[in-house]
């Protein structure tokens, strides 16, 4: 297990692997990442989650093509969680996983190879603290890589996660948020790895809402990527499950990427995090403890506040 440390190596642009399950909000996060030169996107790894592993890989390739980022490899990963049966979230993302966005066969598909192998090889070759991982789906790929080769943790600068819930309660059960619920055993491996964690749970992502006015502002930009983002967000905001349309759907997955680009838009509290894997009732609950625990290093930060206007200004700036 690795002791929590601050960043060891900083390079500009930041070297990043983006692990996701697109997913409408993952897709918007990808558009933002592909449009941001401060990020050196080494690869996009995909995992079964919102929809099947085959669809999440295809969707990442579609979004890559829309963004014109064909140089970034997409590598498909785990087809099911570590232990539990798969739980998809198609009702939030549509049958394709991309809401009402027209899907097509991308010109370039996913690479040959497996996401877990890509993670292991890339981290093994990296310098200590060189690579940031962003995870916006179930953490199966990252957990499988850490379980197989624990030594790779040293290369991880921090793991920036969309997942978990505390004050807001869950969005799939009373106490669990989807990404953690979908693979709680993987989340447990990741939070116990000792890697520095930056967590964007529902407490913070529910503060960043895709209101009709914000979607209209994106649409007005007229670029292919802004139009795609507007269509994806419109799908989420139109879903009754996401609350009244005027309030707008929460913008979950773009938050970690937005933080990498505009850290001042978010506030955090240092904490310990544990994941519930035993109880049927609270499976996937994130136990967030702000009080110091004797003998335990606090290696996590929990998002508590977001400047939604800043996040949407960033999206507009990058997708125009
Ligand atoms: C998370 O669940 C998924 O459905 C979204 O893509 C996001 O990552 C929000 O709970
Ligand atoms: Ca996701």
For the chain, give the percent of residues with pLDDT over 90. 94
252 is catalytic: yes
19 lines ligand 1 (CB under 6 A): no
pLDDT digits (tens, 9 = 90+) for 176-187: 999 999 999 999
Please state, as a whole number, how many other Cβ atoms lie within 10 Å of the Cβ of residue 244. 8
| Fold category of 14-319 in CATH | Inosine-uridine Nucleoside N-ribohydrolase; Chain A (3.90.245)
286 lines ligand 1 (CB under 6 A): no
Q: CB neighbours of 164 closer than 8 A, spacing ≥ 6?
A: 177, 179, 180, 187, 199, 201, 202, 273, 286, 288, 302
How many degrees, rounded to 5, is the angle at CA 10 between CA 7 and CA 14? 110
Lookup result for tokens 């939070």: 191
Does residue 139 surpass a pLDDT of 60? yes
Which alpha helices (H) appear in the chain, and where do they start and end?
Answer: 24-34, 53-67, 90-93, 115-125, 140-148, 178-182, 184-191, 202-205, 212-221, 224-238, 254-261, 308-319
132 lines ligand 1 (CB under 6 A): no
Structure confidence at residue 45 (pLDDT): 99
| 239, 253, 255: residue to mutate for ligand 1 pocket, most atoms within 8 A of CB | 253
Structure confidence at residue 9 (pLDDT): 41
Q: Report the alpha-carbon distance of residue 19 to residue 207 in Å, rounded.
A: 23
Atom of ligand 1 at shortest range from CA of 89? 4
| 162, 204, 206: residue to mutate for ligand 1 pocket, most atoms within 8 A of CB | 162
Distance 171 CA to ligand 1 centre (A): 9
The mean pLDDT of 164-183, rounded to a whole number, is 97
The CA radius of gyration of the chain, in Å to the nearest whole number, is 18
Q: Active site residue: 93, 185, 252, 272, which one?
A: 252
Atom of ligand 1 at shortest range from CA of 137? 8
Domain ranges of the chain: 14-319
Q: Report the alpha-carbon distance of residue 243 to residue 60 in Å, rounded.
A: 27
The mean pLDDT of 161-179, rounded to a whole number, is 97
pLDDT digits (tens, 9 = 90+) for 212-240: 999 999 999 999 999 999 999 999 999 99
């Amino acid at each position: 297990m690795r002791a929590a440390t601050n960043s060891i190596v900083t390079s500009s642009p930041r070297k990043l692997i983006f692990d996701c399950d697109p997913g409408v909000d993952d897709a918007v996060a990808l558009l933002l990442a592909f449009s941001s030169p401060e990020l050196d996107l080494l690869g996009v790894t995909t995992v079964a989650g919102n929809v099947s592993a085959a669809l999440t890989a295809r969707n990442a390739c579609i979004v890559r093509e829309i963004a014109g980022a064909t140089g970034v490899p997409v590598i498909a990963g785990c087809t099911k969680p570590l232990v539990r049966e798969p739980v998809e979230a198609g009702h939030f993302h549509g049958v394709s996983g991309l809401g009402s966005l027209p899907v097509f066969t991308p010109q370039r598909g996913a690479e040959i190879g497996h996401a877990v192998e890509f993670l292991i090889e890339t981290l093994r070759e990296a310098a200590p603290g060189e690579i940031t991982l962003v995870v916006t789906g179930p953490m199966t790929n990252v957990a499988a890589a850490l379980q197989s080769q624990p030594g790779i943790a040293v290369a991880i600068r921090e793991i920036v996660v969309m997942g978990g819930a505390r004050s807001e309660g869950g969005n799939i059960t009373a106490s669990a948020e989807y990404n953690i619920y979908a693979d709680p055993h993987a989340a447990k491996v990741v939070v116990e790895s000792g890697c520095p964690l930056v967590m964007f749970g529902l407490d913070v992502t529910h503060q960043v809402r895709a209101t009709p006015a914000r979607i209209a502002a994106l649409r007005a930009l007229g670029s292919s990527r802004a139009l795609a983002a507007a269509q994806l967000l419109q799908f989420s905001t139109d879903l009754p499950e996401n609350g009244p349309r005027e309030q707008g759907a929460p913008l979950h997955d773009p938050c970690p990427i937005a933080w990498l680009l505009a850290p001042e838009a978010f506030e955090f509290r240092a904490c310990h995090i544990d994941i519930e894997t035993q109880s049927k009732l609270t499976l996937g609950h994130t136990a967030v403890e702000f009080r110091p625990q004797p003998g335990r290093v606090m290696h996590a930060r929990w998002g508590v506040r977001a400047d939604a206007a800043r996040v949407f200004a960033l999206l507009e700036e990058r997708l125009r």
